[in-house]
C-alpha cells in the first residue's frame, strides 16, 4: 500500500512538472526570419556580427525570449546558427 501511494505521489509530481514546463515554454515566440527582422537583435537594420555577439552573451544565462531565435525555450548555439544563416 505504501508503494502505491509513493508511486502516485511521484507520478503526480512528474505530471505537474511537465505541465509547468509546457506553460512556461508556450509563448508567442516567432522564429527569426529575414522578413520579421527578429535576428536583427540590436535593431540596426542588418543581421551581422553584433547580433551574433549579443545572442552569444546570453547563452547559459537566465532565459530571455528576445535572444531565442528558434523559439525552443533556451538560448544556445542553435540560436547562433540561425543568425549565421540569416546574416547579410
For 7-66, how does the pLDDT look when each residue is reduced to its tens digit (9 = 90+)? 787 777 788 777 666 555 556 889 999 899 999 999 999 999 999 999 999 999 999 999
H or E element that contains 87: none
Q: Give dist(CA 75, CA 61) in Å, integer.
A: 8
* Distance (Å, whole) CA 34 – CA 51: 13
Question: How many structural domains are present in the chain?
Answer: 1
Going through 1-88 in order, the beta strands assigned E by DSSP cover none
Residues in the chain: 88
User: Distance (Å, rounded) from C-alpha 45 to C-alpha 27?
Assistant: 25
The C-alpha atoms of residue 33 and residue 85 are separated, in whole angstroms, by 10
Domain span holding position 42: 2-86
Cell numbers at 4, concatenated: 502505491
pTM, entire model:
0.68
Amino acid at each position: 500500500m505504501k508503494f502505491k501511494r509513493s508511486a502516485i505521489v511521484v507520478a503526480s509530481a512528474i505530471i505537474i512538472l511537465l505541465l509547468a514546463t509546457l506553460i512556461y515554454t508556450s509563448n508567442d515566440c516567432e522564429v527569426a526570419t529575414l522578413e520579421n527582422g527578429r535576428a536583427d537583435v540590436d535593431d540596426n537594420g542588418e543581421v551581422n556580427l553584433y547580433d551574433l555577439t549579443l545572442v552569444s552573451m546570453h547563452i547559459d544565462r537566465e532565459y530571455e525570449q528576445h535572444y531565442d531565435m528558434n523559439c525552443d525555450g533556451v538560448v544556445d548555439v542553435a540560436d547562433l546558427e540561425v543568425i549565421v544563416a540569416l546574416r547579410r
